Amino acid sequence: MAAAEGSKLWGGRFSGSTDPIMEMLNASISYDQRLAEVDIQGSMAYAKALEESGILSNAELEKILGGLEKISEEWSKGVFAVIQTDEDIHTANERRLKELIGDVAGKLHTGRSRNDQVVTDLKLFMKNSLSIISTHLLRLTETLVERAAIEIDVILPGYTHLQKAQPIRWSQFLLSHAVALTRDSERLGEVKRRINVLPLGSGALAGNALGIDRQLLCSELDFASISLNSMDAVSERDFVVEFLSAATLLMIHLSKMAEDLIIYSTSEFGFLTLSDAYSTGSSLMPQKKNPDSLELIRSKAGRVFGRLAAILMVLKGLPSTYNKDLQEDKEAVFDVVDTLNAVLQVATGVISTLKINKESMERALSPEMLATDLALYLVRKGMPFRQAHVASGKAVQLAETKGITINKLSLEELQNISPLFGSDVAQVFSVLSSVEQYTAAGGTAKSSVSAQIEQLRELLKRLKEQA
């Protein structure tokens, strides 16, 4: 039997019953009960504003606040009883408030719409959630930076197109991911600033006709400012799109890092070993140690992007002000918040516990990776780079033809390519000398990497203060 319309917040105009399947499609209480606490916070603030404007007496205010505190306690203890007619968290809390304090509960919604109520709740939830996510993200970034500082003398092949390219410091690799994550931290901070605009007091769309002090609401709920236009305030979900977009880019960065580490952990590379705490085995093959933690991080990028794509399509065709389509925003936000919190903590665990294999990294450093250094040697002798590039390429080809590594070519063979080659060319074929020549800011020389570490430490301090 479908619920009678009279039990609903909007039931007075209806005489029939809602179709049971429509009831299920329309209801959001199964997931928006996560907004229970922020919904109560918003109601407490609104009750105070109603008392200031003369709608509630002081006694009525105290009664409402006491009832809301009791409801908050029931939610925190897990004893709040949701019933079938609770369409959403707002209906559930108001229904319970009436059970506790009687008809005076009906005054709480005076001048307020679920349109401005739900967007306020969601913003309060997201403000809290983004602070937690930011903390996890900064912890991961700090873990990368501090590991880079400890292992600064480790050198391994750098890759482009998944082909060996040039020697780099392991720290340069770690910091490349840390730098990307600092941009994600900055983006989350920008999203949080735009979330921090109060919509409550906008009513259904036209505003509030009862002289509600929105600055009081702003102060009570710790928002930075109030919305400028009531029609925009109840319908805009830019902040949801921005959060999901920032989250998608963050997940793409984490996916790239995960992919790198998966490759480096294979037996073919053998550069690192994941902790057992972040690996799983095979139900058939006893020898397997699978990097499932990293594979799951990689997969979650698709999940988060899917949420962004979905909400963009929801918003695309909407007319102005509130439409029920906007109910889709909450599940997207909840899912992505949960995903980020889990993924960031697992990623931090992976980075802090993996073991590197310096010997495997060193064995993978082949002389051909110093072909650019050979070209730069000629540049320093006065040859234009394009000519030097050709000469170095000829040396590589000659070595391949002879079946030897480039550093085994004789001085005579090199001088047949260019008379600028001298006996000092042997100094080129040093991996340490190679990385140490990249002293420009941002490079892989030890001095440059050390500077990056210090700059990132300072940036992390500032980001922590803003989180």
Three-state SS at 157 = strand
Q: How far is CA 252 from CA 171, 181, 301, in A?
A: 21, 10, 6
Q: How far is CA 47 from CA 60, 66, 271, 418, in A?
A: 9, 11, 61, 86
- Please tell me the distance from the alpha carbon of residue 381 to that of residue 268, in angstroms, as a whole number: 39
Whether residue 300 contacts residue 339, with contact meaning beta carbons closer than 8 Å, is answered with yes
- Please tell me the distance from the alpha carbon of residue 414 to that of residue 400, in angstroms, as a whole number: 14
Residues paired with 160 in a beta bridge? 163
Q: How big is the CA angle at 153 (ends 150 and 159), to the nearest 5 degrees?
A: 110
426-435 long-range contacts, Cβ below 8 Å, gap at least 24? 428/370, 428/373, 428/374, 428/377, 429/367, 429/370, 429/373, 431/155, 431/167, 431/365, 431/369, 431/370, 432/155, 433/373, 434/166, 434/167, 434/369, 434/370, 434/373, 435/155, 435/167, 435/168, 435/169
Three-state SS at 198 = strand
Measure CA of the first residue to CA of the last residue in the chain; give whole Å. Answer: 49
- How is residue 160 written in tokens? 């482009």
The catalytic site residues sit at: 161, 282
Residues paired with 17 in a beta bridge? 4
Burial string for 348-369 (b: 16+ CB within 10 Å, else e) reads bbbbeebebbeebbeeebebeb
- Please tell me the distance from the alpha carbon of residue 450 to that of residue 453, in angstroms, as a whole number: 5
- How is residue 415 written in tokens? 């001088």
Q: How many CB atoms lie within 10 A of CB 161?
A: 6
Whether residue 247 contacts residue 304, with contact meaning beta carbons closer than 8 Å, is answered with yes
Three-state SS at 14 = coil
Q: How big is the CA angle at 300 (ends 189 and 361), to the nearest 5 degrees?
A: 95
